[in-house]
A and B are shown apart, each in its own frame.
Chain A
Amino acid sequence: MLDVKEIDVAYGHAKVLHDVSVRLNVGETVFIVGRNGAGKTTLLRTIAGLLHPTKGTITHAGQEIQGFAPEEVARRGIRYVAQDKKVFSNLTVRGNVELAAHAAGEDLKAALKKLVDLYPKFSQFLETKAGSLSGGQREILLIGRAVVGNPKILLIDEPTEGLAAIVIDEIFRILNGMKENKVSAIIVEQNLAVVAKLADRIYMMKEGKIHHEIANPREIVATAELEEFL
């Protein structure tokens, strides 16, 4: 479905990804694990079209997309949820969803229902300015906005970062629901409890390279190996 093959990515002269290869099959939940600065976010931003590799290819549904602009990547059904939890804070929750619904050609009512199904409390917050939501609610809104229009692939960067345990449980429930619905996703995550329970496969990154791939779910449960990379 998505095949990232031997890509190099650089910020100016500083190369940050070296020969990185990652693949995502239909319905899979793949996690990228690694320390800060390992290149995880750079990898997601490159797939999303914000950065362009200097070498290698990114193939989606048989077409090379490594030179595509972010909006072209998004229009192919690849949605990126960034790490910083930035919603459109001056728009209401409804406005945030409306924007995504128009881009995806989905009926607004259906899109709002999807969001409320994901997180029922949003039914009370539809007219609330998104800027006044909590960090957890913002993350859920971002994920809810990204699933409007049934995207083919979700790229989610550190969804539980900086959130309270009770909110992490809520995010976990949402990600688990997506996994059960066979939504294909690449997720960057440092919370090993979440990774261990949801991952079909894990890529461990170190110093801009894919150091190791864990393809066997039983291996994933033993988190000691993962901790070495955090």
Chain B
Amino acid sequence: MDFISIAPYKRGIIFRDLALIGGAFVLLAFFLRLNWVIDFTIFAILVLSYDLLYGYMGRLSFGHVLYYGIGAYTASLFLVHVSPNPFGAIAAGIAVGAVVASVIGFIVVQTEGAPFALVNLAFNQIGYWLAASGLQQITRGEDGLPSSVAAVGFLDFNDKPTVFVFALLCMLAVFFLLKTFTLSPYGVLVRSMKENDDRVQFLGYDTFRYQWLTFVLSSTLAALPGALYAIFYGFVAPTVIIPFGNIEVIFAILIGGAGNLYGALVGAVAFKLISNILATTITRWEMFLGALLLVLVFKFRRGLTGYVADFLPRFRGKPATEG
């Protein structure tokens, strides 16, 4: 399908970047606590998935964490009631996330701007209520749902290095998928819909269809880190689906730079580092995140990666390129 194919030289660039990103996360694992780095990696997948929706398609959503939570709860329930096989749990989490996103997508994609953000928030709020209260006989409500995984061959997911390597491979696979999509004509279409929906229709594209497809893809990918979370922690509670979680994802995107998958990774790691370090040293650490947000909005609108992209050409004596 040439709509999602890319030139061979671009594929070479992606593989080079995958090696660099993989190497950077392995280095982090040497210098930081492994628990932290696993948490960063899982969060990075969630932020990557959100970047497709917000950064590339321009749809700000306050309900993305719904699919993360669905992935987490489905994986946990699978482990408890069906099989302790972690791969089955991940597959179940992704599948249920995809089905729910396909249905909700038909409703939310009909809106845009603030209504899109708020309708997604409404669905997220419903999901949170179901997890915390409405379905508490299944989810065990605020008490949370513990689960355990069995080893599959030589892969023991109770072993942290194994979980780290697996989560890292998942993150690299998601990066590869999204990078391929965003560099392909499909990616060109998604970015053009962000700019001007009407004009895309004039060219003969059914924009609703492609917006729905992008929403489903983004949301389905968000279910993957949810399932990984359930496997890593062996416990899920309504906090995994709480709408406030969306703020953290948006924060990470703003720190790194939206519409740029590298920015999503940098933002995810930077946000988690800041929040982990501040939380252990300062009581009301959220205040500093608020101050950081103000600095980002007024001084670094394109995030850290945008700033570097602007700064480097100046440093080399060349004018910065637009966009």
Contact = CB atoms under 8 A, between A and B. Distances in A.
Interface stretch (A23-31, A95-103, A184-192): A95-103
Interface string A52-89: 00000000000000000111001100011010001011
A216 to B, nearest CB: 33
B196 A103 contact: no
B204 A74 contact: yes
B233 interface: no
B203 interface: yes
Interface in B194-222: 194-196, 198-207
B83 interface: no
Contacts of A131: 322-323
A196 to B, nearest CB: 29
A123 interface: no
A86 B192 contact: no
B99 interface: no
B188 A91 contact: yes
Interface in A155-170: none
A89 B196 CA distance: 10
Given A88-B195, A95-B188, A129-B323, A102 B3 contact: yes
Interface in B283-323: 321-323
A50 interface: yes
A42 B191 CA distance: 28
A23 to B, nearest CB: 22
Given A90-B195, A102-B185, A48 B202 contact: yes
Contacts of A50: 198
Size category, A interface: 20 to 34
B203 A100 contact: yes
Given A95-B188, A99-B188, A86 B200 contact: no
Interface string B112-147: 000000000000000000000000000000000000
Contacts of B192: 88, 91, 95, 99
Contacts of B323: 90, 129, 131
Nearest to B186: A102
Given A129-B323, A131-B322, A75 B204 contact: yes
A145 B199 CA distance: 11
A71 B205 contact: yes
Given A88-B195, A90-B323, A99 B206 contact: no
Contact of B191 (A71, A82, A86, A91): A91
B189 interface: yes
A167 to B, nearest CB: 21
A134 interface: no
B180 to A, nearest CB: 16
A139 B200 CA distance: 16
Contacts of A99: 185, 188-189, 192, 200, 203
Contacts of B201: 69-71, 74
B185 A82 contact: no
A83 B132 CA distance: 53
A16 interface: no
Q: Counting chain A CB atoms within 10 Å of each CB, which of B201, B202, B323 scores highest?
A: B202
Contacts of B198: 50, 70
Contacts of B194: 90
29 contacts: A69-B201, A69-B206, A70-B202, A71-B202, A71-B203, A71-B204, A71-B206, A74-B201, A74-B202, A74-B203, A75-B204, A79-B203, A80-B202, A82-B202, A86-B196, A88-B195, A88-B199, A90-B191, A90-B195, A98-B188, A99-B185, A99-B203, A103-B203, A103-B204, A104-B204, A129-B321, A129-B323, A131-B322, A145-B203
Closest 7 CB pairs of A and B: A74-B204, A70-B201, A103-B204, A103-B203, A75-B204, A88-B192, A71-B201
Given A48-B202, A71-B205, A99-B189, 4 more contacts: A70-B202, A71-B203, A88-B199, A90-B323
Interface of B: 3, 185, 188-189, 191-192, 194-196, 198-207, 321-323
